[in-house]
Amino acid sequence: MTFSDLNLNRFLLDALTEMGFETPTPIQEKAFNVIMSSRDMVGIAQTGTGKTYAYLLPILKQLPFSEQKHPRVLIVVPTRELVVQVIQEIENLTPYINVRFAGVYGGTNLNKQKQVVYQGQDILVATPGRLLDLALDGILKLKQIQKLVIDEVDEMMNLGFRAQLITLLDLLPKKRQNILFSATLTKEVNELLHDFFKSPIKIEVAASGSPLDTIKQLAYPVPNFYTKVNFLVQLLKDKETFKKVLVFVKNKKQANILYEELEGLIPGDTNVIHSNKTQNYRLRAVNNFEKGFFNVLIASDIIARGLDFTDVSHVINFNIPEEPENYMHRIGRTGRAEQEGTAISFFNKEEAEYLGEIELLMNTEIDVEDLPDHILISTQLIDEEMPKVEPEKSSRKKTLTEPSGPAFHEKKEKNSRVNLGGSYRREIAKKYKKPKTRGQKRK
């Protein structure tokens, strides 16, 4: 099947041809007619299979020209980076279509985004928090929404957006089409479907947790953080093999430490991105990595879903994630568009259990290899790796004959309080007499 077989209009076909796309991916092919039918739909597909175009193509085909001010299509995504990327994809598809669209997200000037919304849009792409800010402020009117798309909904649940999503669904018109895309179908997602979707059609291109065929997966036992640094540096020095590398760590603190270490050992090759960085910094880091200005990007899990890069040669899991689904989202950054990629995972003693859970989810084994002999084993530990020492508890009990004793210091004289009784209160009353009433009473 080609895109022409989907009966797209010539404006969309011309845009796809200019981008070099001729054949739809399985999720695009299966979702197209369902979305065109206006039925509620749930799409489950592996990361990197073209989910964004799977909902944009039928939506743009059905969207007629209108001068109305309020948006008719609402697309909700978990991260700022994903808002920017969805907007970019809409731009790519609409060079010959007169459609208004905008993205709104937190971390930027709210008043400027109010002006963007007030100008009038057909499609609005937003993160949940900023979307509710605009809606509850009265600037954004949701009464004309005909189609709601929630992308990466399982990640929204992981990031704590469940309450915001439920509030949003209550604010939207009852008569609308709901379109949901996700890489995994969790219990929380199923509850959302049960409460707010009307007999949704489920499309599953690949079973949740199935391994990506185009990705070679390896794992190495590495005892601690700084030994992982030593091993990572040795790998990254081979720039012919490790051309474009995403390194995932479990939190912002470790991301910053790792960045400082790599900058000292292989300066100029690395950048770091996590939720504490400013929006401009994050967007600049994403663009520079995509353009090849540096070949290593360190990222924390919280933005793993918002990253969409081409030609990533390797994903390195500096830590094994506790949630096995997050492993799938991480490694899905490589091996995209039928290209081959490699995922390398470092795991310590505590993380070995997480690796087993990942294998159970994928129903396949990950090749575990020995740490090369030439890698220096470090004895230096970061704070998180330091053994926890419980404070010693004294077994000696106070006897009943021991007096409790006074406080640890004598009170200062000015802080001593003495009960002066009624006479003290009368003296105070004389000093602070009740003010006279307005005007003197005549005698």
SS3 for 394-443 is: CCCCCCCCCCCCCCCCCCCHHHCCCCCHHHHHHHHHHHCCCCCCCCCCCC
The reply to whether 163 and 311 lie within a common domain is no
- Determine the 3-state secondary structure of 112 from DSSP: helix
Asked if pLDDT for residue 165 goes beyond 70, the answer is: yes
Local structure of residue 50 (DSSP, 8 states): -
Kindly state whether residue 51 falls inside one of the protein's structural domains.
Answer: yes
The reply to whether 268 and 158 lie within a common domain is no
Asked if pLDDT for residue 209 goes beyond 90, the answer is: no
Which of 379, 394, 429 terminates a domain? The answer is 379
Which of 70-84, 141-155, 175-189 comes out lowest in average pLDDT? 175-189
CA distance 354 to 261: 26
Handedness of CA 166, 172, 178, 183 (dihedral sign): negative
Are 107 and 279 within 8 A, CB to CB? yes
Mean pLDDT of all residues in 32-45: 93
Task: Catalogue the E-assigned strands of 214-267.
Answer: 215-221, 245-249
CA distance 389 to 296: 37
Which of 43-47, 59-63, 163-167, 251-255 comes out lowest in average pLDDT? 43-47
Average pLDDT, the chain: 85
The reply to whether 9 and 87 lie within a common domain is yes
CB atoms within 10 A of CB 263: 14
Are 125 and 86 within 8 A, CB to CB? yes
The reply to whether 225 and 192 lie within a common domain is no
Kindly state whether residue 395 falls inside one of the protein's structural domains.
Answer: no
The reply to whether 100 and 158 lie within a common domain is yes
Kindly state whether residue 336 falls inside one of the protein's structural domains.
Answer: yes
Mean pLDDT of all residues in 135-148: 93
The reply to whether 138 and 284 lie within a common domain is no
Are 41 and 19 within 8 A, CB to CB? no
Which of 364, 379, 394 terminates a domain? The answer is 379
Name the band, by pLDDT with cuts 50, 70 and 90, for residue 411.
low
Q: State residue 39's pLDDT score.
A: 95
Q: Which two tokens stand for residue 324?
A: 């096995």
**For residue range 414-431, what is the model confidence (pLDDT) as tens digits?**
555 555 555 555 555 555
Kindly state whether residue 390 falls inside one of the protein's structural domains.
Answer: no
CA distance 8 to 60: 9
The reply to whether 195 and 282 lie within a common domain is no
The reply to whether 80 and 198 lie within a common domain is yes
Are 237 and 397 within 8 A, CB to CB? no
Kindly state whether residue 435 falls inside one of the protein's structural domains.
Answer: no
Q: State residue 441's pLDDT score.
A: 47
Contacts of 326 (CB under 8 A, 6+ apart): 158, 301, 304
CA distance 234 to 375: 8
Asked if pLDDT for residue 119 goes beyond 50, the answer is: yes
Amino acid at 408: F
Residue 50's region, left for phi above 0, alpha for psi from -120 to 50, else beta, is left
Kindly state whether residue 411 falls inside one of the protein's structural domains.
Answer: no
Residue 220: name the closest of 132, 331, 317 by CA: 317
The reply to whether 196 and 219 lie within a common domain is no
Local structure of residue 351 (DSSP, 8 states): T
Q: State residue 49's pLDDT score.
A: 75
Domain that holds residue 60: 3-204
Q: Name the range with the highest mean pLDDT among 19-23, 47-51, 277-281.
A: 19-23
Q: State residue 254's pLDDT score.
A: 93
What's the number of domains the chain is made of? 2
Name the band, by pLDDT with cuts 50, 70 and 90, for residue 443.
very low
What DSSP assignment string belongs to 131-192?
Answer: HHHHHHTTSS--TT--EEEEESHHHHHHTT-HHHHHHHHHHS-SS-EEEEEESS--HHHHHH
Name the band, by pLDDT with cuts 50, 70 and 90, for residue 295.
very high
Which of 172, 204, 236 terminates a domain? The answer is 204
The reply to whether 222 and 100 lie within a common domain is no
User: Residue for token digits 């795991």?
Assistant: 347
Asked if pLDDT for residue 44 goes beyond 80, the answer is: yes
Compute φ and ψ for 441, nearest 5 degrees.
Answer: -75, 140
Compute φ and ψ for 25, nearest 5 degrees.
Answer: -75, 165
Kindly state whether residue 128 falls inside one of the protein's structural domains.
Answer: yes
Are 132 and 98 within 8 A, CB to CB? no
Q: State residue 395's pLDDT score.
A: 58
The reply to whether 145 and 226 lie within a common domain is no
- Whichever domain contains 277, its CATH number is 3.40.50.300
Which of 52-66, 127-141, 325-339, 366-380 comes out lowest in average pLDDT? 325-339
CB atoms within 10 A of CB 17: 13
The reply to whether 181 and 150 lie within a common domain is yes
Q: State residue 206's pLDDT score.
A: 63
In 3-state terms, the chain is what percent helix, strand and coil (to 5)? Answer: 40, 15, 45
CB atoms within 10 A of CB 442: 4
Helix 352-362, helix 324-331: angle, nearest 10? 70
Q: State residue 436's pLDDT score.
A: 47
**For residue range 222-241, what is the model confidence (pLDDT) as tens digits?**
999 999 999 999 999 999 99
Contacts of 18 (CB under 8 A, 6+ apart): 95
Contacts of 227 (CB under 8 A, 6+ apart): 371, 375, 376, 377, 378
Are 90 and 121 within 8 A, CB to CB? no
Kindly state whether residue 433 falls inside one of the protein's structural domains.
Answer: no
